[in-house]
Amino acid sequence: MARQTEFTAKARKAIHKRDQESCFFCRRGYHMENACRYGGLQIMHVVPRSQMGLGVEQNGVLGCIGHHGLLDNGNRGLRGEMQAMLEDYMQDMYPGWSREAVTYSKYGEKQVFETARGSRDVSGSMDGILFLEGNT
């Protein structure tokens, strides 16, 4: 189970490329007083590992250390707003995206994603979930 919630090297590379090596929240100027201006990008799970979020491209977003901590800690009452922003982004990037589709389920049904970019090809499957990625 733990292996399925960790991002593979292929997923990490795709997330870094898609998010253009920059923090999702910094690009939007979101609560910059907490942002780390010295790099330190990390991949944030949209559906957290603690909630069985899969380690796939469609469940990861780049964030700086400051914003990642702000999201994870939730101690400033911003988690709900931040979570909604991430989910909206995923829905824009992957039509048909849902929390359930990127959450581990031993007996889950097959889910198909298409990227909002260009042509697609089958990239693989994981526990009954089939992901399509755009060719770039």
Does residue 123 have a pLDDT over 60? Answer: no
pLDDT above 90 (res 24): yes
pLDDT tens per residue across span 42-68? 999 999 999 999 999 999 999 998 899
Q: What does residue 112 show for φ and ψ, rounded to 5 degrees? A: -115, 135
pLDDT given at position 2:
75
pLDDT in tens, 79-99: 999 999 999 999 999 999 999
77 CB-near residues (< 8 Å, 6+ apart): none
Give the number of other CB atoms < 10 A from CB of residue 108.
15
Task: Please state, for a pLDDT cut of 70, what percent of the chain lies above it.
Answer: 74
Residues 67 and 28: their CA atoms lie apart, in Å, by: 12
Q: CA distances (Å), 7 to each of 4, 43, 58, 78, 128, in order?
A: 8, 9, 11, 25, 17
C-alpha to C-alpha distances, 95 to 6, 57, 116, nearest whole angstrom? 23, 14, 7
| Mean of all residue pLDDT scores within the chain | 81
